[in-house]
């Protein structure tokens, strides 16, 4: 199945799962589930219409191109910022990640270090000056 | 007049001005940086208004959003890099003029057209608001419920993409808004024993993930910008002549700005359409032969309509809670964050703030254009910043903003989770503004749906105003279906 067909299937399936979860799993009453039932029902309808429409639609630019795989790999490379900030806090962890990212994208050390220092200055100004509070610390300090 | 004087009372507040100036500087900077549209700008700035005084927060968001297009015009002309997608309509003529050594002339025209277009758009907004207030006062719960549905449907089906995709995106937004405490009963819904979900999915991580994360990835992918010509030196006299060219073509300016206002007022069409329409109209009426490039009309028309459309787009946004453009869909998110309920009730109780926004919109456009005159060449150099530097800088902003809005790293985690959704939706051409609008309006639609059923029962459908709104809703869906069907007809070129 192509990625552009998977998305409506996933959304429609998700709506159905939560619909069943609400009525059967949680046992919510009618007042709580009336609107979700309408929304989920419409979602399934729209997903079905989109899937049916794909059969007759002429291929468009975005649908003939590559899937989102490459972007998702790059996105996965950004996720380590969360544990880094959790470990070292915003004042150290975030500049460290930004500097590393700039370096890994092919820039030189001067650019990477200045981006890191710039981030550190931004974090300091944002938390200390604008919010009048200390930047969040990490579990290692 | 009372409303205007109340709005001017806000304008005596130095804090409003200070914040508007910061917003303006930020908006200009984002406008100059290639690829960052007005929508992305609003998405990145939303977390930073959290906890602000509501008026100050709205002033900040609106001034930043209004200035984005002015900044983008300069890089479009001097470097051939459209700062925002809407500036692309200026590219052919603006760049051709710059290549002939008339860059300053074109920049002067673009800035004057932007400023005057913005003022005209804001003027239309100020003129329409008092007229619309009595109309929206006639709206009851059924009409507010139907208006919410119309808002979501219009932005979903009238945009550029396929209507079913738009509706699916809007429905997904409404689905995501179902999590957490239900407004009517107070019952927590679908929280799966995760305390974070008791208050529902947060708007800021959602918006940052959908709009900012795909932009960061796009910036990181572009290792360097394509080689661009050097910006032409500034000639003050040429800039003045460019500004005068706008004043010497009052009909062209008025026609283009009014196209912008009209396109802005019609919900869902999308702001990017206006400058292209105005440009096409100007070229068609030009006396120059064929498709000649380098005409000053081709700069004045798109730039005046570009800034005028924001005033037009604010009309349905403020009066009805139905956004006139995708940027306005995010601005509605800002309304929620700042404690306002978008829709007719806003105009009923905050007409003074609506008037202040109109005055600010006009002021921001003029100041932004004035600032760009001496800074044009300097800021044009900023557009040469490489994606590998810009991407990480944006990431730092996003992570800090997401954390600051909720004080929790879980919010940052959700940014990346919604980033996956944003990447997929962007790649598969699903409307992300429709999703945000469904998310923002979902709880309002649900609340007024219940009030309507309890107060009127199904008989609400017999109210004349409700019938009119229902017809508008059906007309939008039928029109979209007809358009899709026409696109599929063999032999007809896709529109």
B175 to A37, A49, B171, B243, B442: CA distances (angstroms) = 10, 18, 6, 49, 8
| Mean pLDDT across B320-345 | 81
- B180 DSSP β-pair partners: B189
Lowest mean pLDDT among B32-41, B306-315, B396-405, B476-485: B32-41
The highest-confidence range among A27-31, B75-79, B315-319, B377-381, by mean pLDDT, is A27-31
Nearest CB partner across the interface for A72, out of B182, B407, B423? B423
Rounded Cα gap, residues B379 and B71, in angstroms: 8
Rounded Cα gap, residues B439 and B436, in angstroms: 5
Give the residue among B92, B146, B179 at the shortest CA–CA distance from B468.
B146
Q: Token pair 């806003």 is at which residue?
A: B346
DSSP single-letter state for residue B139? -
| pLDDT value for A65 | 47
pLDDT tens-digit series, residues B99-146: 888 888 998 999 999 999 999 999 988 888 888 877 777 788 898 888
Contact assessment for residue B361 and residue B62, using Cβ atoms and an 8 Å cutoff: yes
Report helix, strand or coil for B160.
coil
Rounded Cα gap, residues B72 and B93, in angstroms: 15
| pLDDT value for B79 | 74
Average per-residue pLDDT for chain A: 87
| pLDDT value for B487 | 66
pLDDT tens-digit series, residues A86-111: 999 999 999 999 999 999 888 889 99
DSSP single-letter state for residue B80? S
Give the residue among B335, B371, B326, B260 at the shortest CA–CA distance from B29.
B371
Residue B281 contacts by C-beta under 8 Å, 6 or more apart in sequence? B255, B256, B259, B301
Give the residue among B180, B212, B163 at the shortest CA–CA distance from B416.
B212
User: Does residue B19 have a pLDDT over 50?
Assistant: yes
Q: How far apart are the first and last CA of chain B?
A: 45
| Mean pLDDT across B179-200 | 90
User: Does residue A62 have a pLDDT over 80?
Assistant: no
When pLDDT is cut at 50, 70 and 90, the band that residue B226 belongs to is very low
CA atoms within 13 A on the CB side of B13: 15
Rounded Cα gap, residues B87 and B215, in angstroms: 18
Nearest CB partner across the interface for A22, out of B171, B190, B449? B190
User: Does residue B391 have a pLDDT over 60?
Assistant: yes
| pLDDT value for A61 | 47
Percentage of chain B beyond pLDDT 90 is 19
When pLDDT is cut at 50, 70 and 90, the band that residue B4 belongs to is low
Contact assessment for residue B302 and residue B89, using Cβ atoms and an 8 Å cutoff: yes
Position with higher pLDDT, B157 vs A34 = A34
Rounded Cα gap, residues B300 and B283, in angstroms: 11
Asked if A82's CB is within 8 angstroms of B409's CB, the reply is yes
pLDDT tens-digit series, residues B403-432: 887 888 999 999 999 999 999 998 898 988
Rounded Cα gap, residues B433 and B410, in angstroms: 23
| Mean pLDDT across B326-352 | 82
User: Does residue B179 have a pLDDT over 50?
Assistant: yes
Give the residue among B389, B110, B335, B345 at the shortest CA–CA distance from B203.
B335
Contact assessment for residue B79 and residue B380, using Cβ atoms and an 8 Å cutoff: yes
| pLDDT value for B294 | 80
Q: How far is B217 from chain A (nearest CA, A)?
A: 7
| pLDDT value for B380 | 64
Contact assessment for residue B1 and residue B40, using Cβ atoms and an 8 Å cutoff: no
Contact assessment for residue B347 and residue B136, using Cβ atoms and an 8 Å cutoff: yes
Question: How many interface pairs between A and B have CB atoms less than 8 angstroms apart?
Answer: 170
Question: How many other CB atoms are there within 10 angstroms of residue A104's CB atom?
Answer: 13
- B181 DSSP β-pair partners: B188
When pLDDT is cut at 50, 70 and 90, the band that residue A46 belongs to is very high
Q: How far is B272 from chain A (nearest CA, A)?
A: 19
Asked if B391's CB is within 8 angstroms of A105's CB, the reply is yes
| pLDDT value for B493 | 41
Nearest CB partner across the interface for B446, out of A35, A90, A131? A35
Q: B163-185 burial by CB neighbour count: b if 16+ within 10 A, else e?
A: bbbbbbbbbbbbbbbbbbebebe
Asked if B413's CB is within 8 angstroms of A101's CB, the reply is no
| pLDDT value for B492 | 44
Position with higher pLDDT, B288 vs B264 = B264
ipTM of this predicted structure:
0.91
| pLDDT value for B3 | 65
Q: Please report the beta strands in A1-141, taking only residues with DSSP state E, as ranges in sequence order.
A: none
Report helix, strand or coil for B188.
strand
- pTM value > 0.90: no
Query: Dihedrals φ, ψ of B12, to 5°?
Result: -80, -10
Report helix, strand or coil for B383.
coil
Enumerate the H helices of chain A as residue ranges: 3-20, 30-56, 61-64, 69-78, 81-104, 109-124
When pLDDT is cut at 50, 70 and 90, the band that residue B225 belongs to is very low
Helix H or strand E encompassing B39: helix B38-49
| pLDDT value for B209 | 92
Average per-residue pLDDT for chain B: 83
The angle subtended at Cα A30 by Cα A24 and Cα A33, nearest 5°, is 65
Residue of B nearest to A16 (CA): B175
Nearest CB partner across the interface for B164, out of A4, A53, A107? A53
Contact assessment for residue B70 and residue B109, using Cβ atoms and an 8 Å cutoff: no
Query: Dihedrals φ, ψ of A133, to 5°?
Result: -145, 160
Contact assessment for residue A44 and residue A15, using Cβ atoms and an 8 Å cutoff: yes
Two structure tokens written together for B236: 């003050």
Which residues of chain A have a CB within 8 Å of the CB of B189? 22, 26, 28, 32, 36
- B189 DSSP β-pair partners: B180
- The size of chain A, in residues, is 141
| Mean pLDDT across B274-286 | 82
Lowest mean pLDDT among A58-67, B141-150, B345-354, B377-386: A58-67
User: Does residue B217 have a pLDDT over 80?
Assistant: yes
**Residue by residue, what is the 3-state secondary structure of B275-290?**
HHHHHHHHHHHCCCCC
Residues 401-420 of B with CB under 8 A from A: 403-404, 407, 409, 412-413, 416, 419-420
């Amino acid at each position: 199945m192509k990625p552009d067909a998977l998305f409506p299937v996933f959304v429609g399936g998700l709506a159905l799962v939560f619909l069943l979860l609400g009525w059967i799993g949680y046992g919510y009453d009618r007042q709580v589930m009336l609107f979700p039932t309408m929304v989920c029902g419409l979602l399934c309808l729209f997903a079905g219409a989109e899937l049916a429409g794909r059969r007759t639609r002429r291929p468009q630019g975005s649908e003939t191109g590559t899937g989102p795989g490459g972007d998702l790999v790059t996105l996965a490379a950004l996720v380590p910022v969360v544990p880094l900030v959790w470990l070292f806090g915003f004042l150290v962890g975030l500049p460290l990640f930004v500097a590393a990212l700039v370096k890994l994208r092919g820039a030189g050390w001067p650019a990477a270090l200045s981006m890191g220092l710039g981030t550190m200055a931004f974090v300091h100004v944002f938390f200390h000056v604008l919010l009048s509070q200390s930047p969040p610390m990490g579990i290692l300090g | 007049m009372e409303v205007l004087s109340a709005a001017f009372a806000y304008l005596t507040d130095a804090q409003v001005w200070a914040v508007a100036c910061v917003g303006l500087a930020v908006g200009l900077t984002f406008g100059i940086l290639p690829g960052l549209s007005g929508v992305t700008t609003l998405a990145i700035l939303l977390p930073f208004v959290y906890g602000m005084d509501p008026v100050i927060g709205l002033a900040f968001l609106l001034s930043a959003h209004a200035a984005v297009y002015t900044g983008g015009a300069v890089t479009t002309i001097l470097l051939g890099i459209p700062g925002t997608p809407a500036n692309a309509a200026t590219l052919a003529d603006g760049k051709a003029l710059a290549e002939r050594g008339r860059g300053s002339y074109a920049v002067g025209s673009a800035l004057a057209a932007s400023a005057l277009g913005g003022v005209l758009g804001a003027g239309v907004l100020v003129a329409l608001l008092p007229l619309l207030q009595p109309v929206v006062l006639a709206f009851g719960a059924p009409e507010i419920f139907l208006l919410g549905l119309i808002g979501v449907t219009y932005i979903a089906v009238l945009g550029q993409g396929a209507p079913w995709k738009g509706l699916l995106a809007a429905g997904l937004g409404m689905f995501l808004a179902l999590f957490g405490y239900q407004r009517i009963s107070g019952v927590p819904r679908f929280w799966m024993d995760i305390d974070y979900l008791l208050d529902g999915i947060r708007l800021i991580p959602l918006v940052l993930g959908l709009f900012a994360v795909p932009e960061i990835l796009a910036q990181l992918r572009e290792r360097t910008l394509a080689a661009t010509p050097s910006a032409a030196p500034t000639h003050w006299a040429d800039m003045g002549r460019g500004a005068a060219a706008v004043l010497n073509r009052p009909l062209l300016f008025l026609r283009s700005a009014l196209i912008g206002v009209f396109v802005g007022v019609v919900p869902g069409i999308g702001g990017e359409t206006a400058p292209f329409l105005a440009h096409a109209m100007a070229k068609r009426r030009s006396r120059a032969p064929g498709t000649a490039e380098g005409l000053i009309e081709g700069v004045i028309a798109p730039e005046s309509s570009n800034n005028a459309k924001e005033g037009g787009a604010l009309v349905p946004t403020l009066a009805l809670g139905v956004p006139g453009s995708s940027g306005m869909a995010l601005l509605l998110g800002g309304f929620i964050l700042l404690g306002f309920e978008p829709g007719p009730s806003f105009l009923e109780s905050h007409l003074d703030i609506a008037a202040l926004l109109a005055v600010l919109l006009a002021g921001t456009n003029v100041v932004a254009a004035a600032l760009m005159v001496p800074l044009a060449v300097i800021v044009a150099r900023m557009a040469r910043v490489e994606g590998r530097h810009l991407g990480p800088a944006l990431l730092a902003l996003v992570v800090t903003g997401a954390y600051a809005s909720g004080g929790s790293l879980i919010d940052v985690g959700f940014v990346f989770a919604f980033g996956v959704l944003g990447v997929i939706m962007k790649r598969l051409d699903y409307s992300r503004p429709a999703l945000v609008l469904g998310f923002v309006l979902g709880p309002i639609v649900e609340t007024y749906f219940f009030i309507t059923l309890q107060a009127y029962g199904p008989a609400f459908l017999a109210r004349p105003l409700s019938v009119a709104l229902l017809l508008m809703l059906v007309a939008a869906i039928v029109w979209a279906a007809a358009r899709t069907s026409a696109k599929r007809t063999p032999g007809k070129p896709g529109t």
